[in-house]
Amino acid sequence: MTKIVRYSSLAVSTKTLGDRATPVRCVVLVLFAIFVASAIQKPGTSNAASFSSYFRGDRWDFNVTHEALEQSPSWPEEVAEPPLAPRHAARIARQQLEGLVTDSERWRLHTVSLMPVGSDGKWIYVVEFDEPPPRPEGGLHSSIRLVVLMNGFTVSPSRRPWPEQ
């Protein structure tokens, strides 16, 4: 026999719990499940946004944490200009690129994009650079997308071989 136990607005079926299930046991089980689910994710490890770039046999992951986003200024709807100018974001990204690749002076700026992230008027820049072509006449090449927060900080990438082996 299946009983439905109501406790406040929570409905739990006792079919799988057996006849000994009581409303208190059901609530305890639900609370335990919530506790376990929240304990699995360590504080400070969730990401507000993630971007990946693939080039030269590596995958570069740029993860924007909620904490980093909270430390950067918001861009309110009623304000016309963002807290960080686009050209300034491009210069900051170029400096980061210099620390990531050896031939950064040959990389071309491709795009500077504004992206809303999360809520409360939080925005980031995603600055994309194109890798130099392998030959003077061109050829296939990659790009890298770097993240610049509105406080001028960049997001450091994690790097691993690609494809994974």
Residue of 47, 86, 82 lying closest to 64 (CA atoms): 47
3-state secondary structure at position 31? helix
Distance CA 154, CA 126 (A): 10
Residue 4 has pLDDT above 80, yes or no: no
Q: What pTM does this model have? A: 0.69
Q: Would you state the pLDDT for residue 31?
A: 37
CB contact at 8 A, 118 and 70: no
- pLDDT tier for residue 39 given thresholds of 50, 70 and 90: very low
Q: Would you state the pLDDT for residue 1?
A: 44
- For the ranges 32-36, 87-91, 131-135, the lowest mean pLDDT is seen at 32-36
For the chain, what is the radius of gyration of the CA atoms? 24
Q: Would you state the pLDDT for residue 147?
A: 96
Residue 130 has pLDDT above 80, yes or no: yes
Q: Would you state the pLDDT for residue 127?
A: 97
Distance CA 39, CA 33 (A): 10
Q: Would you state the pLDDT for residue 119?
A: 76
Question: What number is the average pLDDT over the span 128-132?
Answer: 92
Q: Would you state the pLDDT for residue 41?
A: 38
Which two structure tokens, joined as six digits, stand for 124?
């980031």
CB contact at 8 A, 37 and 30: no
- For the ranges 1-10, 118-127, 149-158, the lowest mean pLDDT is seen at 1-10
